[in-house]
Amino acid sequence: MLIIPAIDLKDGACVRLRQGRMEDSTVFSDDPVSMAAKWVEGGCRRLHLVDLNGAFEGQPVNGDVVTAIAKRYPNLPIQIGGGIRSLETIEHYVKAGVSYVIIGTKAVKEPEFVAEACRAFPGKVIVGLDAKDGFVATDGWAEVSSVQVIDLAKRFEADGVSAIVYTDIAKDGMMQGCNVPFTAALAAATKIPVIASGGIHNLGDIKALLDAKAPGIIGAITGRAIYEGTLDVAEAQAFCDQYSV
């Protein structure tokens, strides 16, 4: 299982939100490229970037920062979400050296777009499913749909999606542990690999994910915990590597 540091971008800075609320943000760095360097030096094998402004505006806003990080680390897998709602945007990021694009809102509102994107950019598409009480939320988590997460995930199985990033909004940024039972249930219900996100606080939460024995869980995204020092990236990755052996 991969430990994937999150860099959330708002107005060019690296921030963390609580439960997806833009008004409840903490700025951790005005230099996201240097922050990426910190996690790379700490041994991370993939980075998770989110254009928060883009998620709300429906188009990239912090794309220059994403491109700068991708160019600095051409051999590091990078995934980007937030405001990705056109093939042109995907093409821009892929050409910039980004490994994966995460389709969220558009995947919920126009599921056929996911199939189209997978055909155009095979192996590059991840679907981001963010949920409240099992129902998918969209538009920077401002809207909650009537669509069940597991039902939607199954729909994408035939499209060639590389992974699903599942975020429990109630847990995100709260450092109270992630929703292990639902994450494991999602991994069991779909053939698509699942990346857990939201609420990871310490090594105990990583162990809980591993203890779920759900082979479909391939990664865990962590944000506030690594910024506030309750989780060490290198230690957590080493723990995962040893657990897998």
Q: Is 75 exposed, middle or buried (0-12, 13-18, 19+ CB in 10 A)?
A: exposed
Backbone angles phi, psi at 233, to 5 degrees: -60, -50
Decide the pairing of beta strands 125-132 and 135-138: antiparallel
Contacts of 242 (CB under 8 A, 6+ apart): none
Give how far Cα 191 sits from Cα of 15, 41, 118, Å. Answer: 33, 33, 16
* Active-site choice (8, 159, 172, 205): 8
Rounded Cα distance, 26 and 224, in Å: 9
Longest dimension (CA), the chain: 44
Rounded Cα distance, 8 and 56, in Å: 13
130 noted as active-site residue? yes
Identity (one letter) of the amino acid at 191? K
Identity (one letter) of the amino acid at 169? I
* Active-site choice (51, 130, 172, 205): 130
159 noted as active-site residue? no
197, 162 Cβ separation under 8 angstroms: no
Which tokens sit at 217? 């869980």
Which tokens sit at 79? 């995934």
Give how far Cα 225 sits from Cα of 49, 82, 135, 238, 240, Å. Answer: 16, 21, 25, 17, 17
Identity (one letter) of the amino acid at 136? V
Give catalytic residues, as residue numbers: 8, 130
